[in-house]
Structure 1
Amino acid sequence: MEKAQQQARWLLGVDVGGTFTDLVATNEDGVLVAVKTPSTPDQSEGMINGIFKVADRIGIDPAVLLAQCPLIVHGTTVATNTLLEYRGATVGLLTTQGFRDEIEFRRGYKESVFSPRLEAPYQLVPRRLRHGIPERLDAAGAVIVPLDEAAVLNSVRELVAEGVQSIAVCFLFSFVNPAHELRVRELIKEEFPEISISLSCEVLPQIREFERVSTTIVNAYTGPSMQLYLDKLENRLREQGFAGELFVMQSGGGVQSVEQSGRFSAGCLLSGPAGGVTAAAFIGEKAGYPNMITVDMGGTSYDVAVIEQLQPTVTTENWISRYRVALPMLDIHTVGAGGGSIAWIDSGGALQVGPRSAGSNPGPACYGKGGTEPTITDVNVVLGYLNPDHFLGGEMKLDRGLAEQAVARHIAEPLGISTVDAAYAISQIINSNMSNAIHYVTTQRGFDPRQFALVAVGGAGAVHAGKQAEDLGINTVIVPSLAPVFCALGDVAANLKVTELRTRFQRVDQVDLDGVNADFDKMEASARTKLGKQDVARHYETRRYFDMRYVGEVHEVTIPVRSRTRKVTALNLEATLADFHTLHERLYAHKDASQQVEILNLRLDLIGVRDRLRFDEQPFDGEDPLEAQTGSRPVYFDGSPQDTPVYDGEQLMPGNLVVGPAIIEQWGTTIVVYPGHEALIDAYRNCVIEVKRETGKGWGA
């Protein structure tokens, strides 16, 4: 490594997955260094291990690297795992007297209304730890019943005696007037300063009581674990010489400070996969594909999202571990279909795949770490898609014999079929599961998947993407050059972002524009306070939105406000209303321009725009990839072996054309070019695959 590069300032993006921790380091010269290291139970340990590995690749001391690093952005699954595994804090709830069972009444329906066997969700707050407090506001925020401060203190003392570590506070209409909730925090802090407190007026200050109480409870449940982890991580980084700023990837696609992320952990529930969607938007802008479906297949899960006109779709209709989290999040659909997903036979003798995963320890059978159950990684080894000697570019060896043994013992022999047939059947099932996940975020959201490119990332995404494209009628698959560490790339590329919410319930024809603009100004001021005095943003952008619906509807849609100034005018409102009718028709196949429309909430994103990562184009070097071919091996594409050329992805140059069937082996991922497909290496070293179209295939055919 040249001395100039050793002295350069490096930015780090770190994503912790269920199996691997990924890191991307980049400097102002456009140099990119990517590594993977096994994830550890203590995520900070795996992250430090990865930083040492990056330093070794660059050729400098880790302390020097960290001292020269002004920024680390971290995608973490701490909050997610805490909620999914139900190992969060002991939470108490203070709510308006008479409303302590709101969390169990929910919205008056189950998530699966036709399932009589669906059990009640795990109680994050048992009933004995939910206390009603005498207080009441009306819908305008006026005090009807004053806050009973003595009752607050008595309840808190009882909760602390029960072992409560975190308290959620959710009073009626606190989103209009937060005074009672703010006073409760003061009272608690005076006597119990160590208790974690989540106020609904800060976590989700908008209409709908169940959504607010559920989101606030989730924040209280995950907050202490998140805060403990971030404090520990930051201390370890400081001990290693880090002098810069640590940020955390948010579910909405931006990044926030450690302080804000610890207080509002519910905003980090999709911290990991959000990085991949953010990176896809960046790559799509460079490569000229504004509309994309991103699929991220890692060791544990398969995450799917849609990007339209370079903007990831956002939703507030989130159920995570059967709890409503109504914060704006990237619309990412996750299924248990990762490389570690386990194949098994159910009690009826049917073959199933996932959602249970082998994780990183013991991992797939082929890892040789004690795992005996067959996983998707084992299947891909048996079918010839993966080279046992080239996993992670040769850093890790796989045992083909153990993979075949696992598939034979657990699937082939019980079903009375060959090992290869069993592996092929498992592959077909997982491909079908993944195609269904893509349908969920496209056709069920009003999108035609045929109008999008499929961006395949994660360690295993490029093995299966060609089959998903065939199933869905998609013409183009893009495998980015940094696909194995794509979420970490998104972390290091993401902008700062704070989202503010405020309820303003008015019909459009009666809207008070002065009041709307005053609210937006207050929201922007609050957002700037939360971002603090960060010096990593080049400039700031403000984006405004209305949550709108037809009068009488239950659900609303979020519409960007068309305004190039700081004020919303009558003309802006008219254009936004037209956009609402158009989007409503696309989502629900219905619009009625004569129907009255109402605004429910205002939303504001304050974005601190950072310097763009430097990605230099490279000139094309001819079509012939022969120099990159390393040999061939038998691969099973349809149940029978086919001798298939194998290419070294590091040796392929921009302009090279690879005609399928073929295997392209890169560090951290393998690209399968299926028969009839063609792969071109573009100017950014992305692999762009054109998919063979079959008559009658694809959605809507």
Structure 2
Amino acid sequence: MKEDKYSKDLLVMQGNGGTVSSSIVSDEAVKTVMSGPASGVMAAAYTSMQCGFSHVVTYDMGGTSCDVGLIADGIPQVTSELEIEYAMPIHVPMVDVHTIGAGGGSLAWVNEAGLLQVGPESAGAEPGPICYGRGGTKPTITDANLVLGRLNPESLLSVDNPVSIETVRNKIINDVGRKLGFKDVEETASAIIRIANMNMAGALRLVSLARGYDPRDFMLFAFGGAGPLHAVSLASELGIPKVLVPMRPGITNAVGCVVADVRHDYVNSINVPLAKVDMDHVHGIFASQIKAGKKIIASEGIDIEEMVIIHQVDMQFQGQTHILNFPVQSPSVRRSTLQSSFEKAYLKRFNVELPEIRAVLVNLHTSVIGRRKPVPLKTLISQVKHKKKLSECIIHSRPVWFDSGWHDTPIYNREFLPPKIKFKGPAVIEQLDTTTVLEPGNNVEVDESGNLIISL
């Protein structure tokens, strides 16, 4: 790249939501684990803050899986532990992303008990859904969306070898519907979508309700190739009042790499009852972490606008296994402040107080962040000339199945939608990298950066 006169910094994304110089990443390769999902959360945080939303649940649905995360007060939630294949734990700071096997290629099937299941098995890209014409023979979420009119049959049925929509309909009713006692394909496809949505709603509850956050106080940020298809239904299920679909949902993770700051995280273990902790030792550790972070960012020579220091601690009650992480405002934090902050965090998470049990200070965290120059999201807006009238943005219409039955639904080309335009559902908004479905009664507005803001 340098031989081709590339003069910019080459940065690598990390699982903690920050970037690091390529010159040192080889010595800390473990820190790149989960960097893809983390970058999507960082893009969501960056975009949402520019749109005025600081409390966000992120929802990334692709072809094989669904990744969800949570952003509170503009800050993505972070964890220090992840278990990968073969039950191998990794103990490095990373954005807290929960993954389930629910994607466009997830298979719909009836188990031995006669119950409908969707996923975690997937058709993948090969052979893929039946409608792709690549040899897939088992119904998927994508096939269900197709027969319900939510996806464009003209584009999907000719991905590879032509497949008729009747072939897809017959496979869904024969392989799934009749085993469940359903009489028509619409009822079967709707059941597939409902089960998939229920699974994904469960994942969203894990990162919100299970951690003391009410999803009704959040906005749902939907991205990935399949995320906007299901976003409104999920938001309705969880009581989330608004959904944001970014301008380029299919490349949101890549956008996260572009907007992410330089970041270095440091963790030191204490694992001593708080009452016995030497606070001077704690303050010294924080100071050494700050020094190390500033030194390494200076050595990277990356162009940054400012440096930000964030401190956090991990604590638990003695005898318990679950650990709570929470921020501290100063490296010279007092013992009493740690105690009260931990008790508040524990009460919020578990809704119980345990004053008779001793608190344990487990870990000290410091994040040294080099803020990079902001990236204008308006650069993602299509260069296609916008239409002036809403009617000019409609490319055609087709029947789409909602809970109340078939609706003749306008199909919009998202590239044509100008900023500030507003309209109501039902509607389907198509673009190259995704399809957004609006249910009857939904309201949508296009903001100045081209994002869709959907109100339920």
Q: Counterpart amino acid of 1:252? A: N
**TM-aligned CA deviation for residue 395 of structure 1:** 9.2
The residue correspondences of 1:237-636 to structure 2 (distance < 5 A) are 244-258=8-22, 260-321=24-85, 322-390=87-155, 399=163, 401=165, 402-415=167-180, 417-528=183-294, 531=297, 532-563=299-330, 567-570=331-334, 573-592=335-354, 596-616=358-378, 625-636=390-401
- TM-score, scaled to structure 1: 0.59
Number of residues paired by the alignment?
447
Deviations 1:569-622, CA, capped at 9 Å, x for gaps? 54xx5444432221111011123567653322111111121111113599xx99
Gaps of 5+ in 1: 1-65, 68-237, 692-701
Residue pair 1:628, 1:652 contacting (<8 A) in 2 also: yes
**CA distance in structure 2 between the aligned counterparts of 1:241 and 1:409, rounded to whole angstroms:** 59
TM-score (ref. length: structure 2):
0.89
Structure 1 residues 340 and 311, CA, compared in 2 at 3 Å: closer, same or farther?
same
Deviations 1:666-690 (A, max 9, x none): 2211111101211111222111111
Letter in 1 for 2:370: G
Letter of the 1:590 counterpart: V
CA 1:333–1:398 in structure 2 vs 1: closer, same or farther (change >3 Å)? farther
1:657–1:623 distance in 2 versus 1, CA, 3 Å: farther
2:127 aligned partner, one-letter code: P
What is the CA–CA distance in structure 2 between the aligned matches of 1:569 and 1:299, rounded to whole Å? 46
Deviations 1:40-89 (A, max 9, x none): xxxxxxxxxxxxxxxxxxxxxxxxxx66xxxxxxxxxxxxxxxxxxxxxx
Alignment partners' CA distance in 1, 2:18 and 2:59:
19
* Counterpart Cα distance in 2 of 1:398 and 1:649: 26
Unaligned runs of 5+ in 2: none
CA offsets, 1:517-561, max 9 Å, x none?
Answer: 322233234445655423243332221222223344443322212
Decide whether aligned partners of structure 1 residues 632 and 503 sit closer, same or farther in structure 2, where only a CA change above 3 A counts.
Answer: same
SS in 2 for 1:499: strand
Following TM superposition, by how much is the alpha carbon of 1:504 offset from its aligned partner in structure 2, in angstroms?
Answer: 2.3
| Higher gyration radius (CA) | 1
Taking the aligned partners of 1:310 and 1:294, their CA distance within structure 2 comes to 12
Given the alignment of the two structures, is residue 685 of structure 1 paired with residue 445 of structure 2, yes or no?
A: no
Partner of 1:80: none
Write out aligned runs for 1:124-139 (5 A). none
Change (3 A) 1:538 1:405: farther
After TM superposition, the structure 1 = structure 2 runs for residues 635-654 of structure 1, keeping only pairs within 5 Å, are 635-638=400-403, 640-654=405-419
Q: Contact (CA 8 Å) 1:306, 1:442: kept in 2 or not?
A: yes
Distance 2:83 2:439 in 1: 36
Q: Is the 8 A contact 1:661 1:675 kept in 2?
A: yes
Paired letter, 1:256: V
Range with bigger deviation, 438-447 or 552-561: 552-561
Q: Is the 1:302–1:434 contact (alpha carbons within 8 Å) kept by the matching residues of 2?
A: yes
Amino-acid identity (%): 35
Cross-structure match for 1:214: none
Q: Which secondary structure state, in structure 2, belongs to the residue aligned with residue 264 of structure 1?
A: helix
Structure 1 Cα separation of the partners of residues 116 and 359 of structure 2: 49
Paired amino acid for 1:371: G
Larger RCO (CA within 8 A; separation ≥ 6): 2
Please report how far the alpha carbon of residue 317 of structure 1 lies from its aligned counterpart in structure 2 after TM superposition.
4.4
RMSD: 2.9
